[in-house]
Amino acid sequence: MKKPTVVVALGGNALLRRGEPLEADIQRKNIATAAKTIALIAQEYNVVLVHGNGPQVGLLALQNSAYTKVSPYPLDVLGAESQGMIGYMLIQELKNLMPSRNVTALLTQVQVDPKDPAFANPTKFIGPVYEEAEARTLAEEKHWVVKADGKFFRRVVPSPLPQRIVEGDAIETLIAQGHLIICTGGGGIPVTWDGQSLTGIEAVIDKDMSAAYLAKQIKADALLILTDADAVYLDWGKPTQRPLRITSPDELAGVKFDAGSMGPKVEASCEFVKATGGMVGIGSLEDGLAILKGEAGTNIVATRTVNA
């Protein structure tokens, strides 16, 4: 029987937990843990894996700016570098767990609109966290925009909406051939299209938005967003907070979530469900397969038949 296809969006916490040093060995250890969950899912699904890159692309930008004899590389180039680095680590760990399975990382470009309002209002967190005073100093020195991220501050950059996965046909071909595919890393390399040529642009696309768009484009059966929360919560951070177990886009309409964390995930999820009728699961990395089975996390479906 043909396996269903799931697009799995792997949150940055699976690669580097908040507050951890940006060390390669630490990322390898975290990725080895994430790979075990992905390998379990791959037993029952065709997996298309999308990963975040916020800490990594921010580190590359810092390293890049430290060498002053050349102009800093733009964010689209750094995004491509992060796709290669993270893709390599994921391939290695997944192949160690599934030596007979084809695992392929695909450098992926994502078309965006150069007139997207996001370019005037940066919201995408990248790089490490800072105390407020240090963040303000760096912002002045490096001409950054910084915003609060919990009790810390981080650099923010434009995060335009995806319009097209340029390598979409190649991804579908690899799915048909049974590959576990790592693609659209960090939301994809942001590019513009003028009808004749592709051109990179300074931005970092939200990986959950790109994962949902990719899932629609390849007609996936499900979208799974793995994050550092075990479910979607109402009244998060308040004494009345409570998890949603099963819900629908209609029920979520008008509910406000944090724009810097759960908001984009819920928005992307609802768009996928409304466009395809497929299911979205949101929850913690450790619960990956259980979320898809409706046994953990939050499920977002077209029509809810079970009380949340």
User: Could you tell me the two tokens for 216?
Assistant: 């629609």
The single residue listed with the structure tokens 């296809």 is 5
CB burial of residue 283 (10 Å; 0-12, 13-18, 19+): buried
DSSP tally for the chain: helices H, then strands E: 9, 17
- Distance in angstroms (rounded) separating the CA atoms of residues 247 and 148: 30
Percent of all residues in the chain with a pLDDT value above 70, rounded to a whole number: 97
Residues paired with residue 7 on neighbouring β-strands, in sequence order? 48, 223
Q: Which residues are catalytic?
A: 12-13, 124, 207, 265
pLDDT tens, position by position, 230-276: 999 998 888 999 999 999 999 999 898 877 678 888 999 999 999 99
Specify the pLDDT at position 21: 86
Does the pTM of the predicted model rise above 0.85? yes
Residues paired with residue 200 on neighbouring β-strands, in sequence order? 191
Domains of the chain listed by start with CATH number: 1-105+160-219 (3.40.1160.10), 229-307 (no CATH)
The amino acid at residue 24 is A
Reported as a pLDDT band with limits 50, 70 and 90, residue 293 is: very high
DSSP 108-174: -EEE--TT-GGGGS--EEEEEEE-HHHHHHHHHHHT-EEEEETTEEEEEE--PPP-EETTHHHHHHH
